Chain A
């Protein structure tokens, strides 16, 4: 090892002018990187407020009288959740509230059709489009409502259908968990079609990373040239 080559460098106390310039450049790049990522997420966290969806407010209005089932509005909200969240399609509490609303609003003939179709669901058969339409009408869903497509996943046997205390305790937790979201002006503003926070994280940050790399390389070349470093 030649006497002029000293590998004992310290990033936090650079000795040579080149090391000082290099450390300064690295520090600036790291600060920009850190602020762009964590600064924005911190700002998002500070500014957010838990905001209920309109259907959560609907649920709160009807909950006191709908606790024991049979309520069409609550059934519609439960269907909305099942349509959006695949894991909830096997949730017994939601199924019970939907089935109880159906039971309270179906004619005797429709109940017989329902019972026959429900019995075959376990074998993997699907209900007919006609029956699905009748059940959607029973729940007063608008024509063409997407929620009608998941009615079959909510069908339980009508016999021995009862809302338990556990169901009454569980439903508010489900509603609060899935219908309240962290929103702020950063999430509600749009930029290039994106919700601003989403576009910032998914597009702007990635472009910024590329820019940081380019700037670092260009500035480092200048520093190397300034200090007479040989090009590699």
Chain B
């Protein structure tokens, strides 16, 4: 009961901080060199929360570390998996590539998400039925080979490099905005902070931390979507549906003098290239999509 109350309290404080923080977000100019105390405070609170959750859920063995001692519900597991998908690369990178490449950017969304289906169907359930948690463990025990286990682990690490490049780029941008420092220093500081709390809290309970991360990330994803759909008079209750009309408006254009936001008129030049498949103007083609 005490732990549940504490979790509820922490969650409420966190949501309140995030909603309040968006009001003090200030300018989005990354290079303006201004230290932002409110976002920095929110970030610090979140890091402390991660470490606290990790300390409250100390893992005693491999089962605890990977599967939290079988105490995680299906919904909880789903939250942990979803937090892997939603990251800096998703929030910043996906938005940027869809802005720049239009329909072609959806190839990355489909690839990323469709890959989870392949992972589940082809690997995850088979590996778990074998009694293992990771691919190197499975390969090593299946083929009785330490060399193969090491090779699989090395390949996994190499693959994670390409993943980490996008993530650390996003971390650098975020710290640059919060601390007002040069991008290079921001990457170093941000990486050090992430490594620190990951080592402290991640080793103590991966799944629990991922659940907390999921809650934070889903709120961070949804708040801007709600606000922008509401502000531009689209269907804001369900933004993933509401933005359909946004895409159509981009394709067909919006006259400047008929659209008013905050007393200012805005318009959109008809830009079919944004939504049409493998448009020549984006420099992308069908083969690249596939």
Contacts and interface: CB of A to CB of B under 8 A. Distances in A.
Interface of A: 7, 26, 29-30, 33, 37-38, 41, 44-45, 48, 53, 80, 83-85, 144-147, 176-178, 180-183, 187, 190-195, 197-199, 201-203, 205-206, 209, 212-213, 216-217, 220, 229, 232
Contact of A213 (B117, B128, B256, B275): B117
B121 A187 contact: no
Contacts of B64: none
Contacts of B268: 146
A206 B109 contact: yes
B240 A201 contact: no
Contact of B247 (A30, A146, A195, A212): A195
B128 A183 contact: no
A198 B142 contact: no
B146 interface: no
A33 B277 contact: no
A116 to B, nearest CB: 28
Given A144-B265, A195-B247, A29 B281 contact: no
What are the nearest 10 A-B pairs in CB distance? A193-B244, A194-B244, A193-B245, A181-B276, A178-B281, A201-B106, A181-B272, A146-B267, A144-B257, A144-B256
Interface of B: 103, 106, 109-110, 113-114, 116-118, 120-122, 125, 128-129, 142, 235, 240-242, 244-245, 247-248, 251, 256-257, 265, 267-273, 275-281, 286, 289-290
A181 B120 contact: no
Contact of A220 (B125, B277, B290): B125
A182 B285 CA distance: 11
A213 B120 contact: yes
Nearest to A194: B244
A202 B121 CA distance: 22
A33 B106 contact: no
A209 B290 contact: no
A41 B269 contact: no
A55 B244 CA distance: 25
B276 A183 contact: yes
A85 B117 CA distance: 36
A118 B125 CA distance: 67
A45 B286 contact: yes
B103 A198 contact: yes
Contacts of A199: 244
B277 A44 contact: yes
A183 B110 contact: no
B277 A145 contact: no
Contact of B270 (A45, A53, A197, A212): A53
A195 B118 contact: no
Nearest to B143: A7
Contacts of B103: 197-198, 201
